[in-house]
Chains A and B, each alone.
Chain A
Amino acid sequence: MYILEIDNLSKYFGGVKAVDDFNMKLEEGSITSIIGPNGAGKTTIFNLITGIYPPTKGSIMLHGHSILGLPTYKIVDLGLARTFQNIRLFPNSTVLDNVRAACHDMANYSVLEGFFPSKRRYQQEKLIKDRSMALLETVGLADRAEEIASKLPYGYQRRLEIARALALNPIILLLDEPAAGMNPEESQNLMEFIRKMRDKFALTTLLIEHHMELVMGLSDYITVVDFGKTIATGTPKEVQSNPEVIKAYLGYGDKK
């Protein structure tokens, strides 16, 4: 069974068909990439999956259950975590606090208890802190834990966003252009990192990317989107030799 099944997904904004009949069947544990030119509707697909706005038509099934109409936080609770194209960290909070914010599930002391000190609270807070620091270690940001997020260099901000997403213990990780602004070496490191995460946390990863080496080197499957429409889908080899794709992206192998 597919962990995520998307059928006939469409989103029309007035007359604009941002996403038109998008279909995808995510295999558990796979790394799938969505590629296509800017404005092709890729981020819109992410937004639809995470419930930021409802689709015009189509269905999205997580483990066989529809997640249509659920508020975003519930969808996230079910195991979907995402990063953003334009990085949305909590700018005035510290690196550590950004990750801790995502660990709210690890604390079940009530709102009322939040106003008082208690043993249970301190124990849970310690667990949260330890876990957050561990995640920061994984992305190499542990020594910057007390720095303010907005002051971090760009590359580190991306890492922090990923660490925060991982803190949610997701089963599916949605990464929106994680390699944006990275040089080839950084992209290579990112590639290793994503593979390592997939192996370590048993993640299914869905990626939006422009860096072709990353996409080709990392993905098990690729879906090509243009003007909201799916124009090809398959393994990297299949997609690379697909005449439709080649037609749409003559010279698309250019690095960003």
Chain B
Amino acid sequence: MILQQIVNGLSIGSVYAMIAVGYSLVYSVLNFSNFAHGEILMIGSFMGFFLLSVLKVPFPITLALSMVGAGVVAMAIERFGYRPLRLRKAPTLYFMIAAMGFSVFLQNLAIIVFTPNFRTYPQLFTLEPILLGQVAMGRLDLLIFFISLLSLSILSLFIYKTKIGTAIRATAYNYRVASLMGINPDIVIGIVFFLAGGTAGLGGMLFGMKYTTCPWMGALTIKAFIAAVVGGLGSLPGAVLGSFILGMVETFASGYVSSSFRDLFSYAIMIIIIIFLPSGLLGKNTSEKA
């Protein structure tokens, strides 16, 4: 039974991880919480849904297209909303408000365009779980877990081993100095948003496959935020770690306490971390320079 819960926890945790990583990536470079992140994952989820169920596009291509689509939307948001603010050196508050604006805009647009209904992804596998000893693992859960792990590995390879990745990390560490070193912040930030959007879109699709797709699923982003905070905002490994922790806590709370109060546990964890360990488990405490 416990093993079962662990598997569940890992599964949902890996979905959270996809979303939290994108969130943390944007935070590490621009130092603000992109509240519109949720709507990007929602768009990815819908794209995947329509591609799979309506256009009957093969699964791998759907995956790729949804990620690219979500990534492009994210880039557009950055280009038209955040970049002008960045160039004007606007205070973080303005970014947050603009993000909120995008969130409201996209969510309600989706309600109109996609109709306020829950969508179910077509079933790709048999429901028969794979048995490993006592533990029954859903094929879907396994797939989600592996896709997430694969994507995270590719992402981390990209960030830590490529030149562009180094540019991203440099910009995250010190924006001004990086631009003085010849790194074009506009391009780097555009790429960051594309990556963040892509992972979010993927996460949205995976979530849609496991649960459901709907215009207001962007609210999932709060979980991503909690996960990112627990792991340490701005830290990518932290986002992943936090996501799995959150996934576990939620599954166990849901299983052993009460499923309707599950979210309360998530909020409680967030509050506890924010108060007692604000830099999270793996994050660095960046205090303001006078």
Direct contact of A and B (CB under 8 A): yes
Binding site for B on A (CB under 8 A): 43, 46-47, 52-53, 84-85
User: Distance in Å from the Cβ of B232 to the closest Cβ of chain A?
Assistant: 16
Cα separation A52 to B290 with both chains bound (whole Å): 8
Cα separation A52 to B287 with both chains bound (whole Å): 10
Provide the main secondary structure of the chain B interface: loop
User: Distance in Å from the Cβ of B118 to the closest Cβ of chain A?
Assistant: 45
Provide the main secondary structure of the chain A interface: loop
User: Distance in Å from the Cβ of B287 to the closest Cβ of chain A?
Assistant: 6
Residues in A neighbouring B287, C-beta threshold 8 A: 53
Cα separation A53 to B286 with both chains bound (whole Å): 12
User: Distance in Å from the Cβ of A143 to the closest Cβ of chain B?
Assistant: 28
Cα separation A84 to B290 with both chains bound (whole Å): 7
Residues in A neighbouring B290, C-beta threshold 8 A: 43, 46-47, 52, 84-85
Cα separation A43 to B289 with both chains bound (whole Å): 9
User: Distance in Å from the Cβ of A219 to the closest Cβ of chain B?
Assistant: 23
Taking CB atoms and an 8 Å cut-off, the chain B residues in 17-50 that contact chain A are none
**Bitwise interface map of B from 253 to 290 toward A, beta carbon under 8 Å scored 1, else 0:** 00000000000000000000000000000000001001
Residues in B neighbouring A47, C-beta threshold 8 A: 290
Cα separation A85 to B290 with both chains bound (whole Å): 8
Cα separation A49 to B51 with both chains bound (whole Å): 62
Q: Which residue of B lies closest to A13 (CB)?
A: B287
Report the interface size for chain B: residues with CB under 8 A from the other chain: 2
Cα separation A46 to B289 with both chains bound (whole Å): 12
Residues in B neighbouring A52, C-beta threshold 8 A: 290
User: Distance in Å from the Cβ of B189 to the closest Cβ of chain A?
Assistant: 23
User: Distance in Å from the Cβ of B23 to the closest Cβ of chain A?
Assistant: 26
User: Distance in Å from the Cβ of B174 to the closest Cβ of chain A?
Assistant: 14
Q: Which residue of B lies closest to A91 (CB)?
A: B91
Residues in B neighbouring A84, C-beta threshold 8 A: 290
Chain A to chain B contacts (Cβ below 8 Å), 7 pairs: A43-B290, A46-B290, A47-B290, A52-B290, A53-B287, A84-B290, A85-B290
Cα separation A85 to B289 with both chains bound (whole Å): 11
User: Distance in Å from the Cβ of B154 to the closest Cβ of chain A?
Assistant: 31
Cα separation A46 to B287 with both chains bound (whole Å): 16
Residues in B neighbouring A53, C-beta threshold 8 A: 287
Cα separation A53 to B287 with both chains bound (whole Å): 9
User: Distance in Å from the Cβ of B183 to the closest Cβ of chain A?
Assistant: 22
Nearest 3 interchain pairs by C-beta: A47-B290, A52-B290, A43-B290
Cα separation A8 to B287 with both chains bound (whole Å): 23
User: Distance in Å from the Cβ of B217 to the closest Cβ of chain A?
Assistant: 37
Q: Which residue of A lies closest to B290 (CB)?
A: A47
Cα separation A153 to B290 with both chains bound (whole Å): 22
Cα separation A90 to B75 with both chains bound (whole Å): 33
User: Distance in Å from the Cβ of B254 to the closest Cβ of chain A?
Assistant: 40
Cα separation A47 to B290 with both chains bound (whole Å): 7
User: Distance in Å from the Cβ of A150 to the closest Cβ of chain B?
Assistant: 11
Cα separation A174 to B290 with both chains bound (whole Å): 13
User: Distance in Å from the Cβ of A116 to the closest Cβ of chain B?
Assistant: 30
Taking CB atoms and an 8 Å cut-off, the chain B residues in 119-169 that contact chain A are none
User: Distance in Å from the Cβ of B140 to the closest Cβ of chain A?
Assistant: 44
User: Distance in Å from the Cβ of A9 to the closest Cβ of chain B?
Assistant: 16
Q: Which residue of A lies closest to B284 (CB)?
A: A14
Q: Which residue of B lies closest to A88 (CB)?
A: B290
Cα separation A85 to B287 with both chains bound (whole Å): 17
User: Distance in Å from the Cβ of A109 to the closest Cβ of chain B?
Assistant: 29
Residues in B neighbouring A46, C-beta threshold 8 A: 290
Cα separation A47 to B287 with both chains bound (whole Å): 12
Cα separation A53 to B220 with both chains bound (whole Å): 36
Cα separation A116 to B136 with both chains bound (whole Å): 68
Q: Which residue of B lies closest to A46 (CB)?
A: B290
User: Distance in Å from the Cβ of A132 to the closest Cβ of chain B?
Assistant: 24
